[in-house]
Homo-oligomer: A and B are copies of this chain.
């Protein structure tokens, strides 16, 4: 009577069918239904078929709350991201999801939008859901909220941020190395006066990339004063344009022949200004960006940029939090990924 099953579904719409309903319909005990779901090999084929038919007829859907309640833990990881509209973090999340999926878990995404209050709220909710592990790019990496979580027994991994305290797993990308790569590339290309454009200095990433740049500059035996530092208010396109104006104001004999920008938005803004000002890129001004966002390669002059392994970052973080969740005497690790320079036309000889 397959034709009745859609009707049955609609008729029972008042309450969703439970294992008990299925058991009654199939004429077996409730334990058997559970066995069909969880250890099908222990059930005789005939019974199994009958139960499965009953489940189909009744439109049975497992109640995850009840499972979790019984199991004491959910089948989820949570990621509190800093900004869900930033492609960097969505790529990171995608990497996490891949790892979660292979472990049979799902990933719940929350968006703090950079606000501590929202972050706190989401952490609270995730804990109430008894997630197996928490991934977070915190608004303030040193906040003691994280300690409270960990002390309560929830595995926590900090993503794309570092923290002095080695009692947390952290996963980040080596920004100092990224800065080195950019400058080494420019020095290789023969540049001897270079600008570093980035800010505000309160951002760890901005500082670290500059530090790497300085180290490479010195290693090349070049004088400090020829690495010009231009500080910006924010890492946005408009500030890149403004930096271009400042560069343009420098006498051409002293003007840097290349710029290393702390992110691609600045670099795109700078590129835009250069083009409208009639400068040829890279001939008059070479440009290196950072992040290798989607539009770096699609810019008017395709942009050389430092790429971070975003998906791997996410994958590693998820694997780490899983390790912490399963292995009781897990050692906290500080994983540092290696960025990579992608050379394109904006620095071509």
How many residues of A are in contact with the other chain, CB < 8 A? 51
By beta carbon, the residue of chain B nearest A61 is: B127
By beta carbon, the residue of chain B nearest A236 is: B298
By beta carbon, the residue of chain B nearest A276 is: B300
Majority-rule SS of A interface residues = helix
A65-B298 contact, Cβ under 8 Å, with A151-B9, A152-B16: no
Q: Contact between B125 and A106 (Cβ–Cβ < 8 Å)?
A: yes
Q: Which residues of B contact A63 (CB under 8 A)?
A: 69, 128, 130
A66-B69 contact, Cβ under 8 Å, with A90-B84, A295-B295: yes
Stretch at the interface among A91-99, A211-219, A334-342: A91-99
Q: Which residues of B contact A53 (CB under 8 A)?
A: none
Residue A64 is within 8 A (CB to CB) of chain B in the complex: yes
Interchain CA distance A53-B308 in the complex, whole Å: 46
Q: Which residues of B contact A39 (CB under 8 A)?
A: none
Interface residues of A in 105-122 (CB under 8 A from B): 106, 108-111
Residue A10 is within 8 A (CB to CB) of chain B in the complex: yes
A117 smallest CB distance to B (angstroms) = 12
Q: Contact between B85 and A94 (Cβ–Cβ < 8 Å)?
A: yes
Interchain CA distance A125-B61 in the complex, whole Å: 9
A266 smallest CB distance to B (angstroms) = 11
Q: Contact between B151 and A64 (Cβ–Cβ < 8 Å)?
A: no
Residue A59 is within 8 A (CB to CB) of chain B in the complex: yes
Q: Most chain-B CB neighbours within 10 Å: which of A65, A125, A276?
A: A65
A96 smallest CB distance to B (angstroms) = 11
Interface residues of A in 71-98 (CB under 8 A from B): 72, 74, 84-85, 87, 90-91, 93-94, 97
Q: Which residues of B contact A130 (CB under 8 A)?
A: 16, 63-65
Q: Contact between A111 and B94 (Cβ–Cβ < 8 Å)?
A: yes
Interchain CA distance A124-B64 in the complex, whole Å: 11
A229 smallest CB distance to B (angstroms) = 24
Interchain CA distance A94-B63 in the complex, whole Å: 28
A248 smallest CB distance to B (angstroms) = 17
Q: Contact between A65 and B129 (Cβ–Cβ < 8 Å)?
A: yes
A312 smallest CB distance to B (angstroms) = 16
Residue A153 is within 8 A (CB to CB) of chain B in the complex: yes
- Choose from B64, B74, B265, B300 the contact partner of A300 (Cβ within 8 Å): B300
By beta carbon, the residue of chain B nearest A237 is: B298
For the complex of A and B, list the 8 residue pairs with the smallest distance between their C-beta atoms, beginning with the closest: A65-B68, A64-B128, A300-B300, A237-B298, A65-B69, A65-B65, A13-B153, A109-B109
Besides A59-B152, A276-B300, 15 more A-B contacts (Cβ < 8 Å) are A6-B151, A13-B153, A15-B72, A16-B152, A16-B153, A63-B128, A64-B129, A65-B65, A65-B66, A65-B74, A85-B87, A85-B91, A94-B111, A109-B109, A272-B300
For this complex, 19 residue pairs linking A to B, each with C-beta atoms less than 8 Å apart, are A6-B151, A10-B151, A15-B72, A16-B152, A61-B124, A61-B152, A62-B128, A63-B128, A65-B65, A84-B94, A85-B90, A85-B91, A85-B94, A94-B111, A106-B125, A109-B109, A265-B298, A268-B298, A275-B275
